[in-house]
Amino acid sequence: MSLRDVARLAGVSTMTVSRVVNNSRTVKPDTRARVEDAIARLGFLPNAAGGLRFQKGSNVSLPMSGTISDENKFRDKENVDAVEQPGALTSSRRSAPAPQKAPLPSGDTARAMLRIVRAAQTISRVDLARRLDVNRSTVTVMVTPLIASGVLREAAPEQAAASRRGRPPIGLSLRGDKLFIIGVNIGVRRTQVGAATTDGRWLDEESFDTPSDSNEALARINSSLRRLRTLITEHDLISIGVSIPGPTDAGRKELLFAPHLGWRDVRVAETLSVGDNRGVPVIVENDATAAAMYEARRRLRERPHQTRNDFILVRAGTGIGVGLVLRGEVYRGTGADRGLLGEFGHMTIVAGGKECACGNRGCWEVYASAASAASLYMGEGSAGNVGTPPRFVDIVARAEAGELQALTTLDRVGEYLGIGISNVITGVGVSQVVVSGRIVHGWKFIQRSLQAAVAGTMAGRLSHWSVERGQPTGAGLGGAFEVAIEHYFTKLAKLTPAAA
């Protein structure tokens, strides 16, 4: 490969390429970008040992690294040590300046890159670098070994217009033709088991009423896993993500307590790692944390300029769970008790209030969850009525019809929800909140009182807060998929130079 090949690809002269490699300030930014992109596309990375030497009139090869894991051989193009330009004065006693080694991408950066690629399907290296706030060459460092190993693919370059110099950006995407993941969402009412490819394409799904006995429930799940593995033969299973309605142990293997199911100390991962699943990682995650991972991916897809923002996910259905995302990463706490992080649904908001399934009184979820609306509705002048309490969607339907009792109930639910949200904002210090789960079906009736409750608190007066609507469904099984894919991405990040 010669210097002329780089120049031809970038649509510039060989002298311009030399100046870019020399880090000359006389090169225009857009021209520099084209040259750097051309070097990256040709697959060459300057190493730290010898730099680049261009001699006038000679064919010069750009050295490339030979070992993926040797981080000393990966360099950012903009920090290549100076090279001798044609015609410059040289001295046999003068040595080249010491190379300035560029910082390598971290494991978090590598995982963030994979998340963005999966959400975008496809995205150019230039856009990736912009969204990650890194150099284009840093993106090349991360994606090169993943392309070589078949994890990522680059789309064939489009045919450039005759009037355009150089080629358009090549699109990166995550390959999903070989591997698949399984997600298991254990809900208080229903359990879902599904399969999806690593690039996000759903393959199959089934659901059943959640048995009251944990052993029976896990046996049903194992039956579903066997069926999926028998059905999906053209892909290899790489991980199983399980979303559960309660806190987990620090190792994300066991369910500690599911109040609404009455389950304690259930060895979920061990029970599901049997038969054909033996050796396949099983990761167990709290459902609110899994939903926060799902919401983070949705934001990556719909809000490309908010790659690493902070937000709180409040998931309200049968109970209330909270997930916390900081700079695009789900925060799980530290230490042996980190599985308890996010259990704000069981904080007391009414002293000596109604009894909660967890054994406490006055918990937030007893007053502000979708399930709590039924008891509030029945208590609003309907104590004498005999019959099954209405479902949340029934209460919303009655509110749509203008029923005062339903409207009052949802207004109260919104107020209680706002009280708890303001507490979470104050305690965590993050003021952007997303509400998801069944409670969202009644959003238009709870939104006003919710926002009024937050606005009246210190958090509402001192922070630039926002509370927005998320998705009522989808985050359950979708969150379980995110748990599985995140484990896969963590392993892939070790293939990049950041692993050293």
Tens-digit pLDDT profile for residues 210-220: 999 999 999 99
Tokens for 183, please give them: 């997600």
Q: What confidence score (pLDDT) does residue 167 get? A: 54
Candidates 500, 496, 486; CA nearest to 148 is: 496
Phi, psi at residue 39, to the nearest 5°? -60, -40
Sign of the CA dihedral with 150 first, then 105, 311, and 425 last:
positive
Tokens for 127, please give them: 């856009």
Q: Among the residues of 149-267, which ranges form H helices? A: 214-231
Spell out the residues 6+ positions from residue 293 whose beta carbon is closer than 8 angstroms to its own: 285, 323, 325, 330, 479, 482, 483, 486
Q: Enter the DSSP assignment of 346.
A: G
Tens-digit pLDDT profile for residues 88-146: 333 333 444 433 334 456 678 888 899 999 988 889 998 999 888 888 888 988 888 88
Residue 314 has pLDDT above 90, yes or no: yes
Q: What confidence score (pLDDT) does residue 158 get? A: 44
Residue 59 has pLDDT above 50, yes or no: no
The answer to whether the beta carbons of residues 479 and 293 sit under 8 Å apart is: yes
Residue 81 has pLDDT above 80, yes or no: no
Residue 274 has pLDDT above 80, yes or no: yes
Greater confidence (53 vs 483) lies with 483
The answer to whether the beta carbons of residues 193 and 184 sit under 8 Å apart is: yes
The mean pLDDT value for 249-254 works out to: 91
The answer to whether the beta carbons of residues 374 and 278 sit under 8 Å apart is: no
Q: What confidence score (pLDDT) does residue 301 get? A: 84
Q: What confidence score (pLDDT) does residue 242 get? A: 98
Spell out the residues 6+ positions from residue 489 whose beta carbon is closer than 8 angstroms to its own: 111, 114, 115
Average pLDDT score, the chain: 80
Tokens for 253, please give them: 């293997």
Q: What confidence score (pLDDT) does residue 76 get? A: 36
Greater confidence (333 vs 192) lies with 192
Tokens for 404, please give them: 């005062």
Distance CA 126, CA 312 (A): 30
Q: Give the count of beta carbons closer than 10 Å to the beta carbon of residue 369.
A: 27
Candidates 500, 367, 363; CA nearest to 439 is: 367
Q: What confidence score (pLDDT) does residue 73 get? A: 34
The mean pLDDT value for 297-318 works out to: 84
Q: What confidence score (pLDDT) does residue 88 get? A: 37
Please give the distance of CA 120 from its chain centroid, rounded to a whole number: 12
Please give the order of strands across the beta sheet that includes 329-330.
329-330, 320-326, 311-316, 432-436, 466-469
Q: Is the peptide bond before 109 cis (omega within 30 degrees of 0)?
A: no
Residue 367 has pLDDT above 70, yes or no: yes
